[in-house]
Amino acid sequence: MRVAMIVRSTIYSAKGGDTIQVLQTAAHLSRYAIKADILMAHEKINYAKYDVLHFFNITRPADMLLHIWISKKPFVISTIFIDYSEYDKYHRKGFKGWFFRFLNADNIEYVKNISRWILRKDPLVTAPYLWKGQRNSILEILGKARVLLPNSHSEYRRLIARYNCNTNYIFVPNGVDPKTFVFDPSIEKDPLLILCVARIEGIKNQLNLILALRNTKYKLMLIGSAAPNQKEYYNACRKMATNNITFIDHLPQERLVGYYQRAKVHVLPSWFETTGLSSLEAGVMGCNIVITDKGDASEYFEDEAVYCDPVSPESIYEAVKKATELPFNASLRKKILSLYTWEQATIRTIEAYER
């Protein structure tokens, strides 16, 4: 079987969780004699070479529609259905924040997609998207997809609630690579070292994390590059940081291992998370986990993480404090290695292709 994995044009220049998901899935598929080619949405594709098309990020429908119309091939979608609307409407600063308060979630994403094209940050793959719009584009895609691949059952329920779709789905977890993230229990944790591994952008809420931990006894380490269109947010984070806070640019996964190994806590106080991929990586490396109470992450972590309210620096601080005082959570690590690996994700992805 041969698969075309069709991804956003910025998958490598603006790396995120979907970058890791795409690369890991493609690499693991090769072990099952499935050839997966990673192709940019704006590339010209020889569809005849492929049995299945695999798209990512349902909130970017303009990347998909043209390929669906031309190819006539069966396709699946890793939906990665992130709801940015609460952040965009109520916590984003400046004119955009004011303007977005008058729009619903689909219209906000439409404006953002068109803006990236106008500013030449992203090609517009499907020109009719301009008049078709965000919601109608997504409805058409969901109606034609053979199988959806959400990262949780919770994500699928949100899709149903928003778009009233009944497309078949297979839950495909986000995961870790146990060969990369090898935990050494003999290495002592630093009880005051707190990690946040994520691209620095408003949705990830590093600013409130900084406000929570600035001038405290904790050593906060923020690992991640600034999102391309959020330099002002990054600068605001740098401005608010005190001497106990360190910034490190994006690191490849193998270089994250040492940081996870030494940290006591990993915190991701996002305005929304479908999973929190770095939280899974940190959990398998023996970190206690603090994560947002908004989104789908609780399906993964259940009662084995400490939850915070992203709107409140006080809530974030108290969650971090509690997590530093808890013992090492061996059961979380065991659960991740059992249920949430790229091997598990690949097996379910193959099931979707075959279906």
Q: What is the pLDDT of residues 121-143, one digit of tens each?
A: 899 999 999 999 999 999 999 99
Judged against a pLDDT cut of 90, whether residue 93 lies above it is answered with no
Q: How many whole angstroms separate alpha carbon 293 and alpha carbon 307?
A: 5
Q: How far apart are CA 96 and CA 89, in angstroms?
A: 9
Tell me which of 120 and 81 has the higher pLDDT: 81
Q: Of 57-61, 78-82, 87-91, 155-159, which gets the smallest average pLDDT?
A: 87-91
Burial code of 208-244, b = ≥16 C-beta within 10 A, e = fewer? bbbbbbbebebbbbbbbbbbeebeebbebbeeebeeb
The DSSP result for 77-137, as a single string, is: EE------HHHHHHT--HHHHHHHTTS-HHHHHHHHHHHHHHTTSS--S-TTHHHH-HHHH
Q: How confident is the model at residue 94 (pLDDT cuts 50, 70, 90)?
A: confident
- Judge contact between 295 and 273, C-beta under 8 A: yes
Q: Name the residue among 319, 193, 204 with its Cα closest to residue 260.
A: 193
CA distance linking residue 25 with residue 228, whole number of Å: 25
Does pLDDT of 9 surpass 90?
Answer: yes
pLDDT over 90 at 228, yes or no:
no
Q: Average pLDDT for residues 171-190, to the nearest whole number?
A: 95
Using only C-alpha atoms, the chain has a radius of gyration, in whole angstroms, of 20
Q: What is the pLDDT of residues 257-298, one digit of tens each?
A: 999 999 999 999 999 999 999 999 999 999 999 999 999 999
Please give the mean pLDDT across all residues of the chain. 96
pLDDT at 239 over 90: yes
Helix (H, G, I), strand (E, B) or coil at 54: strand
pLDDT band with cut points at 50, 70 and 90 for residue 200: very high
Kind of pairing between the strands at 190-197 and 263-268: parallel
Judged against a pLDDT cut of 90, whether residue 64 lies above it is answered with: yes
Query: How many residues would you count in the chain?
Result: 355
Q: Looking at the predicted structure, is the pLDDT value of residue 329 above 90?
A: no
pLDDT value for 229: 81
